[in-house]
Amino acid sequence: MRDPDDLIARAGVRGDPDHDQHFLVDDRVLDRLPTYLESEAQRASRDASGSDPLDEIDAETSHVLEIGGGTGALTDRLLAVADEVTVVERDRVLAAFLREEFREEIDAGRLTVIEGDALEVELPDFSASVSNLPYGVSSEITFRLLPEKRPLVLMFQQEFAERMVAEPGTSEYGRLSVSTQHYAEPELVETIPKEAFSPPPAVQSAVVRLEPRDPDYAVDDEDFFLRFVKAMFTQRRKTIRNAIRNTTHITNLGAPDAVVEAADDELLQKRADAMTPSEFAELATLALAVGEPEGD
């Protein structure tokens, strides 16, 4: 495997915190990241066997997408386990370095480097994604990837990661928790110290594995459901009864009182942070049916 510090030296760059550039340089973490595409049971079996972390990973690795390739330390590990890798890198200098450093892999058709913003470029039909995301746009990128219904292994600020996996009734539970869990089963698999990066970020990081799944509830309009969840959490200290009435500027409901009159009183007495995703779905479905949403 290529040494991450050597890659930085060959690229002739330094991480720039002002532009969300923190290069992951801990070899042990880099080696583990692709293995998190496996399930917890598969990882336990691998650990018990004592096999090499990057040896014959039992996961979907036909075409792995990496967002934010940097100097290629993770790219190198992904090439060791994947048939094909596509890297999206917005920094012009780093994209040019990746094309030079991995020229052999590119010529062999195993690596594609896309220079551009991951929120704007056309993404390939990937089988999974393993990425150390730029933290400033991690939420936007994640919610571009989640609807693709592919396994994801993504690096986040630890606080953000903890909110993604939070359960109802906890202080971390919120809109991010419900929205994430609508698309996938999230698992916080590892916390990463600041010292694993160059330069070290101001906060600890964490790796989240996101296994795509269909929710155990149905929604008639996914956009409205997510907007309804957002609205309820803007009023998280209020009861759901009051939140429905106070957030028509977000939900666009023309008849919020009709929703309150038709809803189960037990749900209306709850606050957003005590509501399960299925309960949000129940209320959103009712709101869509009787609340006269404008523009829906």
- Separation CA 144–CA 152 (nearest Å): 12
Q: Are 253 and 261 in contact (CB under 8 A)?
A: no
Reference 88, options 27, 129, 59, 57; nearest CA is: 129
Q: How far apart are CA 184 and CA 12, in angstroms?
A: 39
Half-sphere exposure of residue 200: CA atoms within 13 angstroms, side-chain side: 8
φ and ψ at residue 262, rounded to 5 degrees: -90, -20
* Residue 78 marked in a binding site: no
Distance of CA 183 to CAs 52, 61, 87, 135, 143, Å? 32, 20, 23, 20, 9
266 annotated as a binding-site residue: no
For residue 22, say whether it is annotated as part of any ligand binding site: yes
- Is 70 labeled as ligand-binding? no
Asked if 295 contacts 253 with a C-beta cutoff of 8 angstroms, the reply is no
DSSP string, 247-286: -HHHH-BS-HHHHHHHS-HHHHTSBGGG--HHHHHHHHHH
* Beta pairing partners, 293: 253
252 labeled binding residue: no
> How many Å apart are CA 91 and CA 121, to the nearest integer?
13
Helix ranges restricted to H, 149-247: 158-164, 175-183, 222-233, 240-246
Distance CA 296, CA 291 (A): 11
- Would you say 117 is a known binding-site residue? yes
Distance CA 72, CA 101 (A): 8
Binding site for S-adenosyl-L-methionine, by residue number, is 22, 24, 68, 89, 117, 132
Binding site, by residue number, is 22, 24, 68, 89, 117, 132
